[in-house]
Structure 1
Amino acid sequence: MLVLLPPSEGKAPSGRGTPLKPESLSLPGLAAAREAVLGELVELCASDEEKAMEVLGLSEGLRGEVAKNADLRTAGARPAGEIYTGVLYDALGLASLDTAAKQRAARSLLVFSGLWGAVRVTDRIPSYRCSMGVRLPGLGALGGFWRAPMANVLPAAVGDGLLLDLRSAAYGTAWKPKGELAERTASVRVLHAPTRKVVSHFNKATKGRIVRSLLTTGTAPTGPAELVEALRDLGHEVEAQAPERSGRPWALDVLVSEIH
């Protein structure tokens, strides 16, 4: 099973670790694309702070993010699972997992990123600011830029197992599974049961809890139908919609009655 996660907008500080070693990142087939984005982002932020603020969509209070991006090649790096913070990652609680669950996380979690394309939670990266919605002057919209590199690399990374897609819509633009792989894919929404509406905060928290429960129990469904049963066994109320046509993913709605 491979689980696709969105990154967090806010991130923990880089700290004083060894600087980024791009060649050490997982999915080496993305190396050239990563270097292209990193190079343009660093150059933009080092040479034109005002333009960088505009391109990155930053408010005045986030001006310091530009300087942080300018220093990405020399900043300390930490495991991505420590860099990404926020509601989903708080609920996932990677640091508090036992050893076996951490090993499962290292194998099965892949975090999408406007800068890196996708990284595993054990990949060491610096703190940065660059969402998938950014349009860099030279490379254009990052969602579109990443589609070809991702299409070349991701199918092999998934292998022949289940793909659990928990990405937000913006990160979904960078790659969509196709064909037989799509039929082994389950995308998940979290809905407030009484209103049938997505509630952003609780959507993220519930997705984090789902991943944590799969990791801690060692549950490893091999396909979408098995995932539905596994989630129900773990106490989640799930409505599943199998695809009506071949080459389409399953759509799973996880219903929650309380928002907290």
Structure 2
Amino acid sequence: MIVLLPPSETKAAGGTGASLTTAGLGYPGLAVARSRALAALDRLVAAGQDVSTPAKARAAADNAAVRTSPTMPAVERYTGVLYDALDAGSLAPAARRWVDEHVVIQSALLGFVRAGDLIPAYKVSEHSKLPGERMRELWAHAGDELSGFALDLRSKAYAQLAPVAGAVPVEIVSPEGKALNHWNKAGKGAFVRALAESGAEAGSADALVAWAAEASVPLTRTDAGLRLVVQDPRLAAATR
């Protein structure tokens, strides 16, 4: 089983790992696409980037140093609501190993990366315009590198950017059955944390639902995939 996560716009600064080595990333079949994306980013940097605000200046600096800046595990590089709820850095060693073995994050710059892959800070999203490249064309076949049961927690935009055949999407809803926005991300992070802490293994959606029943996680089958109920919006507590 793999768990597909979206990236985040915000990223932690710094790192203690050596500079980016694409040969060290998971899914080596994406090497050509990664080289094209990085070359396009080089062209963007050379053409000049918007530095009109402190946030944009930092993003421009990150992009300019993407090949030389220090790295850190992808699951720690990404920040924001989902990754705060997952809080991989606080997991016990066994649960953290589960994350490194099962979680796959989709980067607009590097394609699919494993949770433990060492990546730099950068500012590229699915909406970015990289000179000479189209995001949809760049990553259209990236999903071919993945195999086995895939639990899809990505946003629709990223799922469309790099389709993964057979991936099972998860809908996050309130106890009343209403779609959520902010708490959607928190619920996803809490769900992945629960999977990691239990060491969950499942080869199908039905097997995952069976695990959820034993773990008291409100996860059910739907015609479209799976549905997870977030019980407490303040804590996104989908894992009780």
The alignment's TM-score, normalised by the length of structure 1, stands at: 0.83
Q: What are the equivalent positions in structure 2 for 1:229-244 lying under 5 Å apart?
A: 229-242=210-223
Q: Give me the whole-angstrom Cα distance separating, in 1, the residues matched to 2:60 and 2:46.
A: 8
> Does structure 1 residue 208 correspond to structure 2 residue 208?
no
Structure 2 match to 1:225? 206
Q: What are the equivalent positions in structure 2 for 1:107-146 lying under 5 Å apart?
A: 107-140=101-134, 142-146=135-139
In structure 2, give the amino acid aligned to 1:101.
Answer: A
Name which of 56, 63, 74 aligns with 2:68.
74
> Does structure 1 residue 176 correspond to structure 2 residue 134?
no
Residues 4 and 154 in structure 2, CA contact (< 8 A), matched pair in contact too: yes
Distance 1:107 1:257, change over 3 A: closer
Structure 2 match to 1:23? 23
In structure 2, give the amino acid aligned to 1:152.
Answer: D
Q: Give me the whole-angstrom Cα distance separating, in 2, the residues matched to 1:5 and 1:218.
A: 18
Residues 16 and 75 in structure 1, CA contact (< 8 A), matched pair in contact too: no
- Where does structure 1 differ by over 6 angstroms across 4 or more consecutive aligned residues? none
Q: Mean alpha-carbon deviation: is it higher for 15-24 or for 214-223?
A: 15-24
Q: What are the equivalent positions in structure 2 for 1:32-181 lying under 5 Å apart?
A: 32-50=32-50, 60-64=53-57, 65-140=59-134, 142-148=135-141, 150-154=142-146, 158-159=147-148, 162-178=149-165
The Cα of 1:62 is off from its aligned counterpart by 2.5
The Cα of 1:113 is off from its aligned counterpart by 0.7
Q: Give me the whole-angstrom Cα distance separating, in 2, the residues matched to 1:90 and 1:174.
A: 24
In structure 2, give the amino acid aligned to 1:187.
Answer: P
Equivalent residue pairs, number: 233
Q: What are the equivalent positions in structure 2 for 1:183-202 lying under 5 Å apart?
A: 185-194=167-176, 196-202=177-183
Provide, for residues 102-161 of structure 1, a one-character-per-residue CA deviation record: whole Å limited to 9, x for no partner.
221111110001000011111111011111222323102x1342012x14322xxx23xx
Residues 144 and 164 in structure 2, CA contact (< 8 A), matched pair in contact too: no
The Cα of 1:61 is off from its aligned counterpart by 4.5
The alignment's TM-score, normalised by the length of structure 2, stands at: 0.89
Q: Give me the whole-angstrom Cα distance separating, in 2, the residues matched to 1:2 and 1:70.
A: 32
Which segments of 5 or more consecutive residues in structure 1 lack a partner in the other structure?
54-58, 243-249
Structure 1 match to 2:229? 255
Provide, for residues 41-98 of structure 1, a one-character-per-residue CA deviation record: whole Å limited to 9, x for no partner.
1221233224xx7xxxxx8452211121011111111111221111111111211112
Provide, for residues 6-42 of structure 1, a one-character-per-residue CA deviation record: whole Å limited to 9, x for no partner.
1111000033542111111111110111111111112
Provide, for residues 215-245 of structure 1, a one-character-per-residue CA deviation record: whole Å limited to 9, x for no partner.
1111212211111122233223233124xxx
Q: Give me the whole-angstrom Cα distance separating, in 2, the residues matched to 1:217 and 1:198.
A: 27
Q: Give me the whole-angstrom Cα distance separating, in 2, the residues matched to 1:192 and 1:122.
A: 31
RMSD: 1.9
Residues 79 and 125 in structure 1, CA contact (< 8 A), matched pair in contact too: yes
Distance 1:103 1:28, change over 3 A: same
Residues 68 and 128 in structure 1, CA contact (< 8 A), matched pair in contact too: yes
Q: Give me the whole-angstrom Cα distance separating, in 1, the residues matched to 2:150 and 2:55.
A: 35
Distance 1:215 1:125, change over 3 A: same
Which segments of 5 or more consecutive residues in structure 2 lack a partner in the other structure?
235-240
Residues 92 and 208 in structure 1, CA contact (< 8 A), matched pair in contact too: yes
